[in-house]
Amino acid sequence: MYLEIVSPEATLFSGEVTSVTLPGIDGDFQLLNNHAPIVSVLKAGMVKIGGSVEISEDVKDKFTIDANKNTVLDINSGTIEMKDNKVIVLAD
């Protein structure tokens, strides 16, 4: 599936991923390929990106790697939409 993470300052990530785990207001949830369409509000927490991803050098300092080799981005809040195997995260 295709993931795009956008902040007010810049596009932080765009590319193919195997999964994304997000901090929903009612708890963390994970999206995989062919997930049903969804729109949700996000709270402060970690966006965990599964798969082999390439982060551009200009935003690399915003991301970390966790013990499970997921690429992680901390956010304060945001919204997410998934439709037709494309996930768009508007992160703050």
Degrees, nearest 5: CA angle 79-25-1 = 45
Q: What is the CATH number of the domain that holds 69?
A: 2.60.15.10
Q: How far from chain centre, in Å, is Cα 41?
A: 13
Q: How many domains does the chain have?
A: 1
The two structure tokens encoding residue 84: 């037709």
pLDDT at 27: 96
**SS3 state of residue 49:** strand
User: What's the pLDDT tens digit per position in 47-56?
Assistant: 999 999 999 9
Task: Go through the chain and tell me how many residues it has.
Answer: 92
User: What's the pLDDT tens digit per position in 5-57?
Assistant: 999 999 999 999 999 999 999 999 999 999 999 999 999 999 999 999 999 99
Range of the domain at 9: 2-91
Q: pLDDT band for position 86 (50/70/90)?
A: very high
